[in-house]
């Protein structure tokens, strides 16, 4: 029997400037990198524990390392799905298994998963929450990007929308409120988003307090993020949401992310594939969900001061999946 050995560690990457959403700001991205080794071949994965979901770096790392005996005894990617719940810990190990399997088979993950990735993936670029003028200025500087994602969820969002649209009249825009809108202001802000030509509003109300979404007119399509994690609960989103943001740190890896994408299609839910602020080691597996997605938000490395070596190639907001020596490809 092939023995699988495990290595995992916390790593830090500086953010270029400051990343701000309705829940706070940060200047550093902290991730956990996992290595799985079999017969001298190494597969790797990355995850970002998220405090919003009760995860911490230390506890997630402990959970990952606790699986070392089971991995050494034969735990594989299939049995991993029941060994850990959806979340960051399972994501890093799941993606490391995919990388390892591709390298052992002398192929790439896309072929293993029977996916034909597009030659070019256009990704959103995130504009952090700030004053209307500051966000308008940032949008102007990045107007060459194919899609801008606006972080909102604070008083004055209608003013932000108006200022940004005036600054970039021809840009495609989506909004992420990060649960920051109040039910009493929801319809007013959705009208403001409609008037500003917004394509999608992500998670306007807090998860668990979003029943109102089934009762109002969706003047702009509404996407679930904090309300949508994995396969469990996906069906309950129908009627409240028009789309779902698939993130591997929520689904617990690429394996369940692909299952979520398939089920969302069956439920007529559009897909956004998203990410945390992290490196190309997180973006590469997430990019395999892009063929199923209407909106792609995989700009994590663009928000960092420096990505990992051999990461994905970004040109004016477009990813070239063919330029990737970091993950998922036999070399």
pLDDT at 331: 58
Q: In a 3-state reduction of DSSP, which class is residue 16?
A: strand
Gyration radius of the chain over CA positions:
19
Buried b (16+ CB within 10 A) or exposed e, 87-101: bbbbbbbbbbbbbbb
Cβ neighbourhood burial of 208 (10 Å; 0-12, 13-18, 19+): exposed
**Helix (H, G, I), strand (E, B), or coil: what is residue 289?**
helix
What does the alpha-carbon distance between residue 292 and residue 21 come to, in Å, rounded to a whole number? Answer: 27
Among the listed residues 103, 149, 247, 250, the single catalytic one is: 247
**Per-residue model confidence as pLDDT tens for the chain (331 residues):** 689 999 999 999 999 988 888 778 889 999 999 999 999 999 999 999 999 999 999 999 999 999 999 999 999 999 999 999 999 999 999 999 999 999 999 999 999 999 988 889 999 999 999 999 999 999 999 999 999 999 999 999 999 999 999 999 999 999 999 999 999 999 999 999 999 999 999 999 999 899 999 999 999 999 999 999 999 999 999 999 999 999 999 999 999 999 999 999 999 999 999 999 999 999 999 999 999 999 999 999 999 999 999 999 999 999 987 777 899 876 5
What integer pLDDT is reported at residue 1 of this predicted model? 66
CA 295 – CA 290 distance, rounded (Å): 8
Given this model, what pLDDT does residue 28 score?
A: 93
Active site residue 111: no
- Give Cβ neighbours of residue 299 (< 8 Å, ≥ 6 apart): 123, 124, 125, 126, 149, 275, 317
For 112, residues 6+ apart whose C-beta sits below 8 A from its C-beta are 98, 101, 102, 105
Q: Which domains does the chain have, with CATH numbers?
A: 5-106 (3.30.390.10), 121-320 (3.20.20.120)
Whether 151 sits among the annotated catalytic residues: the reply is yes
205 touches 214 (CB < 8 A): no
pLDDT score recorded for residue 132: 98
pTM recorded for the entire structure: 0.95
DSSP 34-69: EEEEETTEEEEEEE---GGGT--HHHHHHHHHHTHH
Question: Do residues 205 and 224 touch, judged by C-beta distance below 8 A?
Answer: no
Q: Which bin fits 156, alpha (ψ -120 to 50), beta or left (φ > 0)? A: left
Rounded Cα–Cα distance for residues 255 and 52 (Å): 23
Tell me which of 103, 149, 151, 250 is the catalytic residue: 151
């Amino acid at each position: 029997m092939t023995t699988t050995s495990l290595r995992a560690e916390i790593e830090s990457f500086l953010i270029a400037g400051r990343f701000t959403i309705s829940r706070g700001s940060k200047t550093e991205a902290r991730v956990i990198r996992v290595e799985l080794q079999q017969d001298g071949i190494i597969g790797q994965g990355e995850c970002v524990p998220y405090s919003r979901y009760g995860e911490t770096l230390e506890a997630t790392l402990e959970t990952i390392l606790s699986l070392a005996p089971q991995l050494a005894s034969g735990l594989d990617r299939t049995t991993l799905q029941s060994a850990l719940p959806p979340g960051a810990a399972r994501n890093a190990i799941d993606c490391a298994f995919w990388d390892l399997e591709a390298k052992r088979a002398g192929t790439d993950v896309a072929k293993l998963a029977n996916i034909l990735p597009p030659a070019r993936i256009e990704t959103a670029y995130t504009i952090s929450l700030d004053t209307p003028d500051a966000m308008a200025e940032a949008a102007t500087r990045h107007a060459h990007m194919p899609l801008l994602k606006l972080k909102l969820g604070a008083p004055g969002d209608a003013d932000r929308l108006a200022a940004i649209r005036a600054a970039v009249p021809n840009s495609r825009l989506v909004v992420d409120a990060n649960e920051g809108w109040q039910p009493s202001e929801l319809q007013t802000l959705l009208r403001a988003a409609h008037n500003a030509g917004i394509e999608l509003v992500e998670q306007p109300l807090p998860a668990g307090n979003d029943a109102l979404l089934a009762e109002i007119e969706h003047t702009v399509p509404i996407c679930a993020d904090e309300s949508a994690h994995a396969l469990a609960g996906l069906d309950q989103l129908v009627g409240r949401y028009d789309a779902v943001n698939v993130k591997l740190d929520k689904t617990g890896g690429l394996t369940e992310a692909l299952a979520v994408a398939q089920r969302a299609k069956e439920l007529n839910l559009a897909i956004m594939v998203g990410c945390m602020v992290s490196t190309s080691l997180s973006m590469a597996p997430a990019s395999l969900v892009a063929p199923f997605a209407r909106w792609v938000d995989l700009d994590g490395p663009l928000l960092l001061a420096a990505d990992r070596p051999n990461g994905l190639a970004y040109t004016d907001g477009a990813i070239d999946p063919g330029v990737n020596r970091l993950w998922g490809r036999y070399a």
